[in-house]
Amino acid sequence: MAGKLDPSVIKAIKRAWGLTDKNIVIESSEKLSNLDKGQLTGKNRTITFIPSKGLQRIFAGNIGGTCIDSIEEDFAKGKFENITSYSLVLDEGKTTERFAGAFLVIETETENKEPTLVIRSNNPSENLFSMVDGDSLIKNILDQVKSIANKRGIKHVTVPVSDCGRSSSNREVISQFYKTNFSNNPKLGLVKNKETEFNGYPIWNKNGKDAVVEI
């Protein structure tokens, strides 16, 4: 569901749900290629992260194009209260504005009761990777969550290092990025609850296929 948005839609959602946003600028693949040639021309694309525990969280599966759309009813009923969705909006405020994927952030604790954020179902839209540099996009998503954790005094930020199509992402490029960069990072056991077993993936189990690591 990555279609063009009426400019009033996001504003209305923000008003209705009391949302805030955070802008990041991602250099396009074209610009990175030009920089390799010593050229400084090329354009930037702005991606806005919009957090929600309301309407957009309900449709996070559709926005991200993932299987979590099967639990829309649970989100609509207010279940999984410690999960926040982040919608990615490309070119907000322009005629090219559109949803460009979504990811989830779970607020939980380690098995030692230390506050932790887990980035789950990290699913920018497939065509976004043809518009921007993939590694820069992934790093900016992770840095956004690290910034939130830092402001709130949360010590740990984690991701599941799993195969594509499981708890980490439905995007092979993200699954491989995690494996390449984080496979040797320390695994953390989490408390076992409905959020850490969300959608059937036991990310709490540090010995399982969906174990999380600190980033």
Instruction: Quick: pLDDT tens for 29-87.
Output: 554 444 444 433 335 678 888 776 555 555 555 555 565 555 666 666 667 788 888 88
Is 17 inside a domain boundary?
A: yes
Reported as a pLDDT band with limits 50, 70 and 90, residue 126 is confident
**pTM, entire model:** 0.75
Per-residue model confidence as pLDDT tens digits over 171-213: 999 999 999 999 999 999 999 999 999 888 999 999 999 999 9
Is 1 inside a domain boundary?
A: no
Is 35 inside a domain boundary?
A: yes
Is 145 inside a domain boundary?
A: yes
CA-to-CA distance for 182 and 67, rounded, in angstroms?
25
Is 40 inside a domain boundary?
A: yes
Is 2 inside a domain boundary?
A: no
Q: Is the pLDDT of residue 133 over 60?
A: yes
145's CB contacts (< 8 A; 6+ apart) are 105, 117, 119, 157
Count of domains observed in the chain: 1
- The residue segments making up the domain with residue 38 are 7-214
Any idea what the CATH number is for the domain that residue 146 is in? 3.40.630.30
Distance of CA 145 to the CA centre of its chain: 8
User: What pLDDT is attached to residue 213?
Assistant: 97
Which phi and psi angles does 29 have, rounded to 5°? -60, -35
